[in-house]
Amino acid sequence: MSCPVSAAGPADSPERHGGNLAATAARLGCRPDQLLDASASLVPFRPPRLLRRALRRAPLRPYPDRDYAALRRAIAGLHQLDPAWVLSGNGAAELFTWAARDAAALGPSLLPQPGFADYRRALDCWGGAAVAAPLPLAWASAGPQDWPLDWPLAGSASAPVLWITNPHNPSGQLWSRASLEPLLQRHALVIADEAFLPLVPGGETQSLVPLLVDHPNLVVIRSLTKLFAIAGLRLGYALGDPQRLARWSAWRDPWPVNGLAAAAGEALLVDRPAYGRWCARVQDWVAAEGAWLQRQLAALPGLKPLPSAANFLLLHGECEGAPQSLERLRLALEQRHRILLRDCRSFEGLGESWLRLGYQDRADNRRIVRALARELRG
Between 143 and 154, the higher pLDDT residue: 143
Task: Write out the E strands in 137-206.
Answer: 161-165, 189-193
pLDDT of residue 37: 95
- Tell me: the pLDDT tens digits for 164-187? 999 999 999 999 999 999 999 999
Nearest to 256 by CA among 97, 100, 89: 89
What distance in Å separates the CA atoms of residue 183 and residue 203, rounded to the nearest whole number? 19
Average pLDDT, the chain: 92
pLDDT tens figures, 60-85: 989 999 999 999 999 999 999 999 99
Burial of 282 (0-12, 13-18, 19+ CB in 10 A): buried
| Chain-centre distance for alpha carbon 151 | 26
> For residues 24, 27, 33 and 35, what is the CA-based torsion angle, rounded to 10 degrees?
-60
For position 44, what pLDDT does the model report? 95
CATH architecture for the domain at 21-43+276-377 = Alpha-Beta Complex (3.90)
- Amino acid of residue 164: I
112-134 in b/e form (b: 16+ CB < 10 A) is: bbbbbbbbbebbeeeebebbbbe
pTM score, whole prediction? 0.93
pLDDT at site 130: 95
pLDDT at 3: 59
How large is the average pLDDT for residues 4-29?
A: 67
User: Is 49-270 assigned to CATH 3.40.640.10?
Assistant: yes
pLDDT tens-place string over residues 306-331:
999 999 999 999 988 799 999 999 99
HSE of 271, CA atoms in CB hemisphere, 13 A: 14
Q: Is the dihedral of CA 351, 12, 303, 117 positive or negative?
A: positive
Count the Cβ atoms, other than its own, within 10 Å of residue 73: 16
Q: What is the mean pLDDT of residues 232-241?
A: 96
* pLDDT for the residue 211: 98
29: left (phi over 0), alpha (psi -120 to 50) or beta: left
pLDDT band of residue 155 (cuts 50, 70, 90) is low
pLDDT-derived band at 348, boundaries 50, 70, 90: confident
Residue 346's pLDDT band (cuts 50, 70, 90): confident
- Looking from the CA of 224 toward its CB, the CA atoms found within 13 Å total 30
Q: What is the pLDDT of residue 11?
A: 46
Mean pLDDT of 239-244: 98
Q: Would you say residue 301 has pLDDT above 80? A: yes
pLDDT at 148 over 60: yes
- What is the rounded average pLDDT of the residues 289-305? 97
Q: Which of 38-47, 54-63, 146-155, 191-200 has the highest mean pLDDT?
A: 191-200
Tell me which of 125 and 5 has the higher pLDDT: 125
Please report the pLDDT score of residue 188 as a whole number: 96
The residues spanned by each domain of the chain are 21-43+276-377, 49-270
pLDDT in the model for residue 262: 96
12 confidence band (pLDDT: 50, 70, 90): low
Return the pLDDT at 1.
39
pLDDT at 9 over 80: no
Counting residues of the chain whose pLDDT is more than 90, the rounded percentage is 84
Mean pLDDT, residues 95-119 taken together: 96
Asked whether the predicted pLDDT for residue 154 surpasses 80, the reply is no
- pLDDT for the residue numbered 143: 86
